[in-house]
Amino acid sequence: MDDFTTLPLTICPGGPTAQMSGSPPSNPPPVTIQNGYMNAMAQMTDAQLYTSKVAGFHVSQAEALTGFVPDLLGALNGDRAFTPCWSFSWANDVSVFMAALGAVAADHLNEYVVQKVEIGAKALAKAIKAEATQVATVLATLETAATQLAGTSLAPLANAARDAVASVATQIPNATTQATLLAQDAGDLVGAVGTAARLTTSASSRANAAQNAVQAAIGPVTTQAPSANAAVQAAASAAATAESSIQALASALDPSSSLSSAIATAEGYAHQVTTSLVNLAGIAGQALADAERIQADTAGALIGFAVGSTLGQVLEMFATADILFTAHNDDHNFNDRGIATHEYGHFVLCNLLDSVDAVQFAAAYDEAAAAGFVTGQAPSATGSVMNESFADFIASQVMGATSYALPPNSFRSPNMNYCPAATTAGTANCIETNTTNTGPSFDDKVLRAVSLYTDAFDGHVLVPPADVPTNGDEWAAASGGGITLAAAPGISANDETVALTGAAFRSWISNALSRGTLLREDNVFGGLSDAMIKQQYTWCQRCEVFYLHTVDASGTNNCPEQWVGPRPTFTLNGTTTSLSCRFENNGVCPAGTTPDELYRSCDPTCPAGKVFDPPSLTCVGQIIP
């Protein structure tokens, strides 16, 4: 190091520039940096680059804290790094997290019921209002149609469709108003409960008065919830009626009519509105059920579950932090090769959730993070399993290693598990091993989810510098002991044909939240299936990803319909038949069908000159090269 010189020079963003004269040495000596903070920073930078280049998604700047205050948390949670994501979104802060933490700790009211009512009502108001534009477009089309068809035999149908859509346009503002009022009342109750909890914790003389205030705030919520529910249900019912009326008009129109195309488009819009409002009616019904549970509870019970006491006071000290690196007992969170990568995976999930819906993000992520914090990763804490499996999947993609998941044949260190690069095509190796849902432990359940996610995204050609999802295996045993990067990335097992692009990350999380607010298998796995649909994968192709990782009570592999949808049917020669998949029945297709290795279906025999097209489930003209 004799020819290495350091200069006391600091350059800050936005400050003056600096120049150094001379040329660097032709063979600069390597500089070994052994600093835990630099290690963590480098890992998070790698993960940020993966998210940007592969997923095409911009992640907010993370606030990572170390030192005395995070170490207080380490004393409480066994020195685990923790990613609460508090700095970048208006919807998430310590108070929201503490409400989730208290509810999870007490296993009370089905995930902090008071906050659920408020969050659900806010989401209702926002979503219903968003449908108004679509309805206005449809109404304008139907008004035009009613005018043009006046005096004709189709006038009654046109007028009925117009009036039905006008009814929806009237119902939507009322439903929005009622949901907004419920959100305000629930917000008032949340505030009253929080105030009472703080006064109760400090043994204040005003605690009794605060408890009375909570009791008074319960009434408006339980009164407004039925009104909001009724308004949303009425809007959904009106939308269904309008859709039927438009369908009747569309069926009666001559296909060559100048109105035919416009009415068909209006019919599509109406269907979207109806589907959305029916889903929102379900949320409204749940809000009503939650409000009824609030009514059955006492003010004292609500306050008791909001008391965070010591932990809440500790967390308030770093209310603007995203990632907390604890070092209460040792420095493993800084010195390990992968912990910071895993924690940044949580931060990526936070950003994806927030980009879809900030309110849903706060509810979904805080419940999952709180469940992991309180239970210490119990197998039954599904939200925590989904949360940790996503972070482990990011770690696997970025560095070929996982934290909780313990893949077979992996190189194991105290905190991370590294996958050796597969060198033979078609070999299920390490994280690509098809782990099913039979494992009893928390780590088993995380491994199953990570291996499933890997199957959904792997299979790309990994020729540098390709910014595509990886197969999660990049390591090899070093000759002198330990491990080193393999000469080439591992080869995909190719045991299914799905290979989602990085763009599917946001689609995945968006679809998951559209299925439900909390991180649960039906929402997360179903959202992943929906992302596959967006990238044009067929039912059998999607089914296979889940089939490889899911068995029922009898031990039989299957792909649950709540994730992939009902099994498709097709009609051929007047007979309707359910689609069979190549990988079912021990890989044997039914008689009279042909295995389709690309679409993973068993294709029926079509009339001469035609072939079966799995995406459309129809026989199409054969293309002769």
Q: How confident is the model at residue 192 (pLDDT cuts 50, 70, 90)?
A: confident
Tokens at residue 575, please? 């007979």
Tell me: pLDDT of 366 over 70.
Answer: yes
* CB 361, CB 92: distance < 8 Å: yes
Interval 9-62: pLDDT, tens: 444 545 555 454 556 566 766 656 677 888 899 999 999 999 999 999 999 999
Locate 374 and state its tokens.
Answer: 């309180």
Residue 185 gets the label, from left (phi > 0), alpha (psi -120 to 50) or beta, of: alpha
The model carries a pTM of 0.66
DSSP 8-state symbol, 581: B
Greater pLDDT, 308 or 268: 268
Distance from C-alpha of 92 to C-alpha of 89, rounded to nearest angstrom: 6
The pLDDT value given to residue 10 = 47
- Better-scored residue on pLDDT, 92 or 375: 92
User: If you average pLDDT over residues 556-585, what whole number do you get?
Assistant: 94
Reference 211, options 103, 99, 321, 301; nearest CA is: 301
At 600 the pLDDT is: 96
Whole-number pLDDT of residue 221? 79
How confident is residue 110, by pLDDT bands cut at 50, 70 and 90? very low
pLDDT digits (tens, 9 = 90+) for 345-361: 999 999 999 999 888 88
User: Which of 206-220, 253-267, 486-500, 528-542 is the least confident region?
Assistant: 206-220
Cα within 13 Å of Cα(562), Cβ side:
10
Alpha-carbon distance of 324 to 144, in angstroms, equals: 59
- Asked whether 136 and 274 are in contact (CB, 8 A), the reply is no
Q: Name the DSSP letter for residue 619.
A: E
Distance CA 403, CA 332 (A): 13
Q: Distance between terminal CA atoms of the chain? A: 67
The distance from CA 293 to its chain's CA centroid, rounded to whole angstroms, is: 28
Which of the 8 DSSP states describes residue 89?
-
Q: Report whether 519 contacts 383 (CB < 8 A).
A: yes
Query: Which residues, other chains included, contact 40 with Cβ-Cβ below 8 Å and sequence gap of 6+?
Result: 64, 325, 333, 334, 339, 340
- Which of 426, 424, 423 lies closest to 597 in space, CA to CA? 426
Single-letter amino acid code for the residue at 105: A
8 Å CB contact between 196 and 211: yes
The confidence score (pLDDT) of residue 8 equals 43
